[in-house]
Amino acid sequence: MPENEYAYDASRLTVVDHPLVQHKLAILRDKDTSTKVFRELVTELAIFEGYEALRDLPLEEVEIETPLEKMRARKIAGKKIAVIPILRAGLGMVDGILSLVPSARVGHIGMYRDHETHEPVQYYCKLPPSVSERTCLIVDPMLATGGSLTAAIKFLRDAGVEDIRCLTLVSCPEGVKAVLDYDPDVRLYTCVIDRQLNGNAYILPGLGDAGDRIYGTK
Ligand code: PRP
Ligand code: URA
């Protein structure tokens, strides 16, 4: 690969590579991991990523009373958040994010990749009210060519959303570059950037088809 073929703006990229994340990823990738465990791991990894992606949530001072005395403490300042899974596989990450921010709204973007062209085909969309005022976390375990994620970003930008953060579990250089080049403001969080795509636009070494592994459809 020529040097810098996949150069991108790394300031908008966070690789969440905590040892616990790497350990869980290793089990997730294993072809012998059961559907049940796979699904549980996707939820757990989404929690780690959500924790990082929401690190800058605004806080406000409130007065509370401990059993000993009054004090000023800080709580989340009621920022509006939406989780937007790309169906199907993105659904597997929703519960993890909701365990961190239970009041978040959930929007759905239905998309699948055409087997021949690898281009995304959109079949469903339902966004929460006042989506443009929300911090939107687009979730999808796999970032391959970037076609699905860039289409989802475009959809949210067209709906007026300003603050978009994308959370994927396994990415590849081609997809990371496609997403960061497509949108100059989007922020991307991933647990790992794998080596490359194969001829069928699957990530190597990857973990196979995330949707099939979450739902046991293969
Ligand atoms: C997978 C994955 C992403 C997309 C990534 O979904 O969950 O949405 O492929 O590939 P891309 O970056 O090349 O667009 P898939 O189309 O297999 O649909 P599914 O979730 O219904 O299985
Ligand atoms: N979608 C998947 O689920 N896996 C890949 O490796 C690429 C796209």
- Which pair of structure tokens corresponds to residue 160? 């007026």
Q: 102 Cβ partners below 8 Å, 6+ apart?
A: none
**What pLDDT, on the 0 to 100 scale, is given for residue 2?**
52
Percent of the chain residues topping a pLDDT of 90: 92
- For a mutational test of ligand 1's pocket, the pick from 35, 148, 179, 204, i.e. the residue with the most ligand atoms closer than 8 A to its C-beta, is 148
CA 50, CA 34: separation in Å to the nearest integer? Answer: 24
CA 14, CA 171: separation in Å to the nearest integer? Answer: 12
CA 147, CA 145: separation in Å to the nearest integer? Answer: 5
CA of residue 73 to ligand 2 center, whole Å: 44
Atom of ligand 2 nearest to the CA of 213: 3
Query: How do residues 111-127 score in pLDDT, each as one tens digit?
Result: 998 989 999 999 999 99
Residues with beta carbon inside 6 Å of ligand 2? 89, 142, 144, 202-203, 206, 209-211
Phi, psi of 33 (to 5 degrees): -70, 135
Question: With 90 as the cut, is the pLDDT of residue 86 above it?
Answer: yes
Domains, the chain, ordered by start: 14-215 (3.40.50.2020)
DSSP, collapsed to helix, strand or coil, labels residue 183 as: coil
**What pLDDT, on the 0 to 100 scale, is given for residue 154?**
97
Query: How do residues 154-186 score in pLDDT, each as one tens digit?
Result: 999 999 999 999 999 999 999 999 999 999 999
Question: With 50 as the cut, is the pLDDT of residue 90 above it?
Answer: yes
Q: 169 Cβ partners below 8 Å, 6+ apart?
A: 25, 28, 42, 45, 46, 49, 93, 141, 142, 190, 191, 192, 210
**What pLDDT, on the 0 to 100 scale, is given for residue 1?**
46
DSSP, collapsed to helix, strand or coil, labels residue 56 as: coil
Q: 3 pLDDT band (50/70/90 cuts)?
A: low
Atom 15, ligand 1: which residue's CA is nearest? 112
Question: With 70 as the cut, is the pLDDT of residue 4 above it?
Answer: no
Nearest alpha-carbon partner for 137 in 102, 167, 108: 167
